Structure 1
């Protein structure tokens, strides 16, 4: 496990947008840990969750879809750097994805430009490279983004449009530097999309089957590593800013660029699931596992979606889940290694241990509250 380079005491005044969310709160925690002299402000729609105990952090309720409100907040904070992690839930309506991911991001960029922000780091997604019939095998940043009608997930299309807006704004004005981080398969303490459904599957005794033969490699990324990549990007942009009007060489440049971020440990999909289940307590031997045909599982997922839609609920198996669990989806992170100096701080096994332990501890706390 690498500890990474020694942290610099301060990143200046940093505004973390979405800083009470899953990734955003981990970024705040890591700034406190690695850059303790930084002045941290958090902007979120509601700042009542995932608040850090430090009295040095200021919290601001605000809506990034409201340009005037943003202008007032930026005028008050005057940040040197902005990290934008704000995004609605994957399953939110399309109009919400448009409003928050696209228009909200453009509002943030404009407010940052007008306030004289030096560095703007935007959270994108590795899935912008993924389309129907496409498998990501050692994919890197040279792969084209899939958007519009070619992109089946509207959320992903809006993430791609938001990233484009951020990168196009780079050096406009010349002192405004921006880049994008594209994480793949984030998991860890506080996530709601990756680990909790897997732990629930274990508790429902659904570990005795898998879809396909488990020959597809997949990237999962521990959340602290994603947070670390954001901080490295801020450092790099601030360093570049200090050198203006000089421009880095193309093979060293960070501003105007996107970076794929993973744990650098592609793993067979069902091996990851079974690592999660094992940490949760599962001891089912592999010779007891049933292998479902992928096409059959996809069809069953579609049927369950229709039935549960009529009931107003979400099924435990969807067509998207059936596809993802048999898909090759792993990436090349050499660009982040070479230009950001990125090395994962926490390996996959330790990340799984921390994430599952957190779920168990939270459940135990809830049980104790109910029994009192």
Structure 2
């Protein structure tokens, strides 16, 4: 089912995934209008899309997702919302009120705007971190949407994304102002990599400081399945199409789906090496420190940060939950998304790696220059 002639809203349009989805929509769908909703949208983004814009109108909607009236204006006349905008924080560096305001309240206000403005479809970008791993580090290998797992989430990011997902799926079937019904679904991508991934840049910068040797923070056996950003964007497009299709809408509405691809199952550290080794980077053979030492240091840092918090907020560089996340086998299948949404990876691992490494190669001289100036 095509989105031809539709008015589409993409929140977080200026971000890593948002930009990729907007380009995909322009390349594959003859939409009437795409509204780029974000706190700030760089003029360069709109300029960069001119080569594939065609007859689609690109509208910039700058504002705070916690502003209900702004959201109503942005959704007026639209038929589908892709809600990607969120605060991503795996170190608990952001105050809880801030991350909750954006990831939960913002999602709720956007859902209400959809009901008030008769937006028929809503695709929510969730995260694999709503599953865990739990503090006990219990592994999952090729998990499915049906499996039970006691997550006991620790990160504020994980908790708020789960709450945003829950509210999204509960809103499925709500009656719109015009008498129609809202259809919703949520996508849970794995760790997303590709051109523009700030986490990869951070790991490369650390390796440059370490004489071009990547730090090993994950055991080799702690295998996960990262997913390429182009495939995640494709999953969103397929979800949008499915919610418009009357038959698929009934199957997919109110459900969540894991989005992965055929990237090899490796540890986070070994994945970093896989995309950076062609650039001359090596990787440490063993963990920087034994796991028990990492946990002990994290415990001490957390206690010290808690002690001084009444005076100043200090964010430790590493937490016990982050160590657990980096060292727990945690992988999931995309087969249900294939069945219900028609999703299939567009990019092979070889192509995704080539594109990612090529982007990192272009960024490498800039990172080295930054290091030189420090």
TM-score (norm. length: structure 2): 0.82
RMSD: 3.1
Structure 1, unaligned stretches of length 5 or more?
1-6
1:201 paired to 2:201: no
1:289 paired to 2:296: no
In the alignment, what sits opposite 1:299? 296
Give the deviation of 1:207 after TM superposition: 3.2
Equivalence map 1:48-59=2 (5 Å): 48=42, 51-53=45-47, 54=50, 56-59=57-60
2:195 pairs with 189, 194, 198, which one?
189
Give the deviation of 1:176 after TM superposition: 1.2
Q: 1:343 to 1:352 in 2, by over 3 A?
A: same
2:161 pairs with 159, 162, 185, which one?
159
Distance 1:63 1:264 in 2: 36
Equivalence map 1:228-243=2 (5 Å): 228-240=234-246
What secondary structure does 2:344 align onto?
Answer: coil
In the alignment, what sits opposite 1:3? none
Equivalence map 1:265-280=2 (5 Å): 265-269=263-267, 270-280=269-279
Distance 2:126 2:85 in 1: 10
Distance 2:358 2:305 in 1: 31
TM-score (norm. length: structure 1): 0.83
Give the deviation of 1:151 after TM superposition: 1.4
Give the deviation of 1:255 after TM superposition: 0.9
1:22 paired to 2:33: no
Q: 1:299 to 1:196 in 2, by over 3 A?
A: farther
Distance 1:303 1:280 in 2: 37
In the alignment, what sits opposite 1:113? 115
Q: 1:120 to 1:146 in 2, by over 3 A?
A: farther
In the alignment, what sits opposite 2:359? 358
1:103 paired to 2:102: no
1:42 paired to 2:36: yes
> For 1:139-190, what per-residue CA distance to the aligned partner results, in whole angstroms no more than 9, with x for missing partners?
221235767xx31111111111111111111111152111101111011111
Q: 1:102 to 1:39 in 2, by over 3 A?
A: same
What secondary structure does 1:57 align onto?
Answer: strand
Distance 2:16 2:249 in 1: 34
Does the aligned pair in 1 maintain the 2:214–2:282 contact within 8 Å? no
In the alignment, what sits opposite 1:84? 83
Distance 2:109 2:365 in 1: 41
In the alignment, what sits opposite 2:221? 215
Q: Which stretch shows the higher mean deviation, 11-20 or 198-207?
A: 198-207
> For 1:185-243, what per-residue CA distance to the aligned partner results, in whole angstroms no more than 9, with x for missing partners?
011111223x1222123212373763565112102111111111000000000112xx6
What secondary structure does 1:230 align onto?
Answer: helix
In the alignment, what sits opposite 2:95? 93
1:67 paired to 2:74: no
Structure 2, unaligned stretches of length 5 or more?
none
Give the deviation of 1:74 after TM superposition: 2.3
Q: 1:362 to 1:52 in 2, by over 3 A?
A: farther
Q: 1:16 to 1:57 in 2, by over 3 A?
A: same
> For 1:236-262, what per-residue CA distance to the aligned partner results, in whole angstroms no more than 9, with x for missing partners?
00112xx6xx974xxxx1111100101
In the alignment, what sits opposite 2:342? 341
